[in-house]
Amino acid sequence: MKMRAQDIEFTLVRSRRKTAAIVVERSGKVTVRAPHDLSRERVRDVVASRALWVHRALAEWEDFNGRRPKRAFADGEGFSYLGRTYQLKLARKSDQPLMLRNGRWLLSPVVLDLGGVKAAQKAFRDFYIRKGAEHIGERVTQLAPKVGVRAGTVTVRELGYHWASCGQTGRLNFHWKLMQAPRSVIDYVVVHELCHLRFRDHSDAFWNEVDKVLPNYRDRRDWLRRYGAAMEL
């Protein structure tokens, strides 16, 4: 439900929370998650009381998103994988569209010749999705027992402005862009979603569970907030 308080437009989402929470999403939109019994007027009051914080968070979002790189698919350009940056080389003798070998990305020029930038972006996405299915799938298997849950199917794909999602059947979905982040940050997102198998909201109980598995999860979450916007192709 779209609402407005002062000059702040936000989306109201009802949940089983005990208190209202305000979040600036990756898309730059403001979301307020509030209990079912909290009136709309009271929700507006909550947003108005935190207007300064919201404006600061939006300014921070604009700053971070202003850092989005404009990459060229040419020799020497850098692209990240599991937290490290590797330089790109156009390799005419490559028998694959894209591969990471000996510390360097090798992209076949045929990809660019036939499909241009969009084809090169797809080659990287396909690589991240393929490797993500292996790496994230393994981390889900290894971390699920620590949370005390059993996950369903794990997929890596395009998720728009979400890093991950958790289905009612235990299916876990992860954004392919995560494969550019450090392994520790990927683990945070994995644990986050595994904890959602126990707690569907972001209640204190949920964050306490995350903290049990990853006591330094805040540092990893902050990294994602600070550098996530730069994980573009």
Query: Do β-strands 104-107 and 164-166 pair in parallel, antiparallel, or remain unpaired?
Result: unpaired
DSSP per residue, 174-186: EEGGGGGS-HHHH
What would the pLDDT profile of 18-55 be if each residue is shown by its tens digit?
888 898 887 788 999 899 999 999 999 999 999 998 88
Local structure of 25: helix, strand or coil? coil
Measured in Å, how far apart are the chain's first and last C-alpha atoms? Answer: 33
The whole-chain average pLDDT of the chain stands at 91
What would the pLDDT profile of 48-88 be if each residue is shown by its tens digit?
999 998 888 888 777 766 666 678 899 999 999 999 999 99
Phi/psi region, residue 215 (left: phi>0; alpha: psi -120 to 50; beta: rest), is alpha
Q: Regarding the domain with residue range 78-230, which homologous superfamily does it belong to in the CATH classification? A: Metalloproteases ("zincins"), catalytic domain (3.30.2010.10)
Structure tokens at 217: 């999860």
**Of 115, 174, 68, which Cα lies nearest the Cα of 98?**
115
Would you list the domain boundaries of the chain? 2-65, 78-230
